[in-house]
Amino acid sequence: MEFPSGTSFAHTNQVSETIEKAITEFSFIEQVVSKIEMGHVLLLIRPKPGLVINAEWVNVFKESLGDTEDASIFFLTESASPFAKDLVIDVLGEDETILQKLCEELAKKAKENQYVTEVMLKYKPNREELLLHPKANSMLVSSVDMSSLGHELRTALQGVVVGKFRSPEKEMDIRIRFQERYRQSKESLSEIRLKTGNGKYSPLETLVTSSTHTIPQKIYHKNQIRNLSFALRFSSTSGSKEEAKVFTQLQSYPLPESYRLEVSRDEVNKNSRLREITFHLLIPFLLFALGKQSSLLIPIQYFVLFLMTSHLYPTGFSQIQNGGLVFAHIFVHSSGMRNYQETIVYRQMLLISSFLLLAPSELSDLFYLSLSICLSIFIKRAFFGVYRSISPKVQMLQGVQNTLRAQIWFRLGKIF
């Protein structure tokens, strides 16, 4: 849980206790461990043995917690996994205040999307600071110098430790400071009176003027340009196309000149690593196919078509994953081909599956996968027997192959 900058420890602890109590009331929760800091809380939730907290339970948590005041809650389940559906977006610009305002507005806009379940700001917001400007003439008349003014205010607001009680078991500090009503807020400063050099007491507001401004707690740079980031977590039913849609919608948001949005470099690197893993996993299949095929053309054709479909959506892994499953399904079957007729059949299966992966983005990834595999099985069962006895069908399927090839290249041309 994240709180606004400057939130007191007492308030952080109070909200944390309320949320912790609500979570422990669930019968499937064994233990909740809290780590509370000023403005930040980490809750480690442990279910009972044999149970795993899934996305449905997380939704139950959210509904039961209800209003959490000013706490921003972010569930970290499986966030360390490379397959986690998190998208980190960087906002780059010059002014820290404008960047923070843009991040908050963009995060709010992203949360309205049906595919986004959680939004988290990946930075500490600017902290408000009160500046006191001494009045030179008043300070001179009152015989108050800067050091004594600072010491008096420190004693009044923060307090000073003047000694300790000591016993064999423990120690206790003795702190002196003003009553709470004099230090509740910046408006309380008007009630503080400080002792002047002539032995009298003067209101603080007669000695100083005040102003407020914000200061960044941390400064972030990307390629020597200031940036702030926020993370989007997507529902389990969404895929890379939905992520791309959300990012496109955010890019349409009007930004000041010289400000822009980028997908986080970590996100790009994660997808690159996943592609690299997929590539290395395909090498054994290719080597196995080379030992089974008399021609290099067929396995190379499989591999090239797979790469074309798997790199169309760079913002996520689901398209690569589905393309890999379809490819593996066809490849495992085609590795046992015994004659030319079977070769033709499986080439049609691969082309149709590849074409389905390029279908309109309104269809879900799961539908792509199911439809392509079912269609592949249908072609195998429906036309395999026909190929053995009716040779004209071979020419017909070759025509289908050429047509599908043309459609794939046409679709690729529109995409790129």
The string of DSSP letters for 306-318 reads: HHHHHTS-TT-SH
Find all residues with CB under 8 Å of 316, minimum gap 6, and list them: 85, 87, 239, 240, 241, 243, 244, 271
The verdict on residue 289 lying in a domain is yes
- The single-letter DSSP state of residue 2 is B
Structure tokens belonging to residue 64: 């039961």
Q: Around Cβ 171, how many Cβ atoms within 10 Å? A: 8
Per-residue pLDDT of the chain (416 residues; tens, 9 = 90+): 888 777 888 888 988 898 888 888 888 888 888 899 888 889 888 888 888 777 677 778 877 777 677 787 877 754 444 445 678 888 999 888 888 889 889 988 888 888 887 788 888 777 888 888 888 888 888 888 888 888 888 888 888 898 988 888 888 999 998 888 888 788 888 888 888 877 788 888 888 888 888 877 777 788 788 888 888 877 766 667 778 888 888 888 889 888 998 887 555 445 555 555 555 555 555 555 545 544 555 555 555 555 444 444 433 334 444 444 445 445 444 444 444 444 454 555 555 444 444 444 444 444 444 555 555 555 555 555 544 554 554 555 555 555 555 555 555 555 54
In whole angstroms, give the CA distance from residue 44 to residue 242: 30
Residues 6+ positions from 91 with CB-CB distance below 8 Å: 99, 102, 103, 106, 227, 228, 229, 230, 259, 260, 261
Cα→Cα distances 228→1, 66, 94, 316, 368, Å: 19, 28, 11, 22, 36
pLDDT for position 72:
78
Residues 208-241 have pLDDT tens digits of 888 888 877 777 788 788 888 888 877 766 667 7
Distance CA(87)–CA(85), nearest Å, equals 7
Q: Which of 15, 48, 77 is the last residue of a domain?
A: 77
d(CA 213, CA 127): 8
All residues at 6 or more sequence positions from 278 whose CB lies less than 8 Å from its CB, including other chains: 310, 320, 324
d(CA 2, CA 341): 63
Residue 116, in any domain of the structure: no
Please give the residue range of the domain that contains residue 35.
1-77
148 and 45 housed in the same domain: no
At 318 the pLDDT is: 44
Reported as a single tens digit per residue, the pLDDT across 115-135 is: 887 788 888 777 888 888 888
279 and 154 share a domain? Answer: no
pLDDT of residue 409: 57
Distance CA 364, CA 163 (A): 69
Give yes or no: residues 284 and 167 share one domain: no
Q: Across 298-415, where does the E strand assignment appear?
A: none
Task: Tell whether 73 and 131 lie within a shared domain.
Answer: no
Residue 44 lies in a domain: yes
Dihedral-angle region of residue 41 (phi above 0 means left; psi in -120 to 50 means alpha; beta otherwise): beta
**Domain CATH number, residue 194:** 3.30.2090.10
Q: What is the CA radius of gyration of the chain?
A: 32
- Same domain? 299 vs 401: yes
Number of domains within the chain: 3
Q: Is residue 198 part of a domain?
A: yes
Domain assignment present for 258: no
- Asked, for residue 173, whether it belongs to a domain, the answer is yes
**Same domain for 37 and 135:** no
Clarify whether residues 165 and 295 are in a common domain: no
The answer to whether residue 101 is domain-embedded is: no
Model-level pTM? 0.51
Residue 387 and residue 311 share a domain: yes
Same domain, yes or no: 276 and 373: yes
Q: What is the pLDDT of residue 278?
A: 56
Task: Decide if 263 is inside a domain.
Answer: no
pLDDT at 259: 92
Q: Are 410 and 291 in the same domain? A: yes
Q: What pLDDT does 9 receive?
A: 85
Residues 70 and 155 in one domain: no
Residues 192 and 274 placed together within one structural domain of the fold: no
Rounded CA separation 284/290 (Å) = 10
The burial class, CB within 10 Å (0-12 / 13-18 / 19+), for 43 is middle
Q: How many CA atoms lie within 13 A of 160 on its CB side?
A: 8
